[in-house]
Amino acid sequence: MTWDQEGFVWHNPPADQEICGGTLRVKTRSETDSWRETIYGYWKDSAHILSRQIEGDFTAEVTIKGQFESHWDQAGLILRLSESHWVKIFMENISGALYFIVTVTNNASDASIMQIPVDPQGNRVRATRIRDTVRADYFDFESESWKTARIAPFPRSKAIGVGVTCASPIGEGLDVSFWNFSTFQPIE
């Protein structure tokens, strides 16, 4: 699957983006984020998202590598039904360290946060949707195996937006690359 394939659409286009040899390179705008209510009390729907609609059950996967320099710089996969119902599976800078985070938003956002080994070649993340459930995985390059980080309920729908997302809530902008994006039959 290529980024310029029919059906991919930007929601909140970034400051700059280019597609080169199957890699999507993005420069985020500052003060961008996706979050609703919990702990911080604000609603943000300004993160950059490049996605397309997918019907039925599936697995989506992408490799991410970026210059995560500012606190909360983030990039990863997104499954989006609406501004109030989405799942982000992503890498984020928290106080100078890179974390793997899964945020499930069903009107209000939550976050599962864990520190994982950072692959110098890029971190791989994966989402599997089966009926009304989403499973979030990361690839542990040290053990060369996929690890499940979270299984969460998520509203059933005929189609859902699936793609990549990135944001810089407080920084001047994140330079990030995405490659090996694919969707395929769900992994049970």
Question: For residue range 12-66, what is the model confidence (pLDDT) as tens digits?
Answer: 999 999 999 889 999 999 999 999 988 777 788 999 999 999 999 999 999 999 9
Degrees (nearest 5) of the Cα angle 112, 34, 31? 120
Which of 182, 188, 161 has the alpha carbon at shortest distance from 83? 161
Could you tell me if residue 1 is inside a domain? no
Could you tell me if residue 144 is inside a domain? yes
What's the structural domain count of the chain? 1
Could you tell me if residue 33 is inside a domain? yes
Could you tell me if residue 101 is inside a domain? yes
Which tokens go with 53? 């609609």
Domain containing residue 47: 9-182
What predicted TM-score, i.e. pTM, was given to this entire model?
A: 0.95
Residue 158's CATH number: 2.60.120.200
Could you tell me if residue 106 is inside a domain? yes
pLDDT of 54 reads 95
Question: For residue range 101-128, what is the model confidence (pLDDT) as tens digits?
Answer: 999 999 999 999 999 888 999 999 999 9
Could you tell me if residue 3 is inside a domain? no
Which tokens go with 80? 């989006």
Residue 2 pLDDT class (50, 70, 90 cuts): low
